[in-house]
Amino acid sequence: MKPILKWAGGKARLAPQISTVFGQTCEGTYYEPFLGAAAVYLYRKARGEVGRAVLSDINEKLVEVHRAVRDDADGVIAALDRLPDSDWRERYYDIRDDYNRGPWRSPLHAARFIWLNRAGFNGLYRENRKGEFNVPVGRYTHLAIPSPEHIREVGRLLQGAELVSGSFAEVIGRAGEGDQVYCDPPYVPLSASASFTGYHSSPFGLAEQKSLAHHARVAGMRGARVVLSNHDLPVVRNEIYPEISGFEHVARPRVARAISRNAGSREAVAEVIAAIGPAA
């Protein structure tokens, strides 16, 4: 099952490979502290590999979208039907202004988020320092909104999941024996000029990367299986997820990503899938 959101760095294509790194169905609680579009969760849930789940993201507005889809999918669908279709480019900035004014806890908020996600440039989500969404309009030939059936199915897969907004430390701190954790943090930039820090008003630099690795190690010592993704760089392999600290470098896939302002310019970027904690 694919997500209803387009997401920079989304894991829809890698979800099968990530799932195999866990080695088995989750018998305890499954945690995702960097939920994004929920690609890995939706894939594993649809396959019956996850039961109880705690899904989290520091972006509270994003979490509210998942809550609305879980709790009132038909309300989200109805609100989407009222948003622009044929004149979507001309109305884009009006909808963006409405979104930034809020409120952010309603099916209408979720509909605006999904609409902007599909109408905005390259599916990006970016906020300025005031916490305002500021992505410009996209260059698509037509507006592709998820179908009602797709939204309802994602809502069904989210049933029973605990959705929270908080720090990764709080969420990973709950994981213990028999649990599984998947971490897809903002990646270490490929170069000094490639840093992307606008996903949320809070930064995610090297200190945060190392803090995440520390919490992953501690959760692994408590008996949880923790799987993490990042760019395949020496600093990632040797300083953040070093094998000497117990991390396994399980796979190094190459994934096509738009790495420039030109959405049509895509190159295969190397990633690393690391893991720590008991395997099957």
Based on the domain organization, do 44 and 106 belong to the same domain? no
Determine the structural domain holding residue 32 and report its residue range: 15-58+166-276
Based on the domain organization, do 117 and 198 belong to the same domain? no
Based on the domain organization, do 201 and 123 belong to the same domain? no
Would 85 be classed as within a structural domain?
yes
| Residues 229-278 pLDDT 10s | 999 999 999 999 999 999 999 988 877 665 444 545 456 789 999 999 99
| Residues 110-158 pLDDT 10s | 999 999 999 999 889 999 988 899 999 999 889 999 999 999 999 999 9
Q: What is the per-residue pLDDT for 196?
A: 46
Based on the domain organization, do 132 and 233 belong to the same domain? no
The CATH number of residue 263's host domain is 3.40.50.150
Would 33 be classed as within a structural domain?
yes
Domain closes at, from 131, 155, 179: 155
Flag whether pLDDT at 202 surpasses 90.
no
Domain closes at, from 108, 131, 155: 155
Domain count for the chain, please give it.
2
Three-state secondary structure along the chain?
A: CCCCCCCCCCCCCCHHHHHHHHCCCCCCCEEECCCCCCHHHHHHHHCCCCCCEEEECCCHHHHHHHHHHHHCHHHHHHHHHCCCCCCHHHHHHHHHHHHHHCCCCCHHHHHHHHHHHHHEHHHCCCECCCCCECCCECCCCCCCCCCHHHHHHHHHHCCCCEEECCCHHHHHCCCCCCCEEEECCCCCCCCCCCCCCCCCCCCCCHHHHHHHHHHHHHHHHCCCEEEEEEECCHHHHHHHCCHHHCCEEEECCEEEEECCCCCCCEEEEEEEEEEECCCC
Based on the domain organization, do 193 and 229 belong to the same domain? yes
Would 10 be classed as within a structural domain?
no
The CATH number of residue 100's host domain is 1.10.1020.10
Domain closes at, from 121, 155, 189: 155
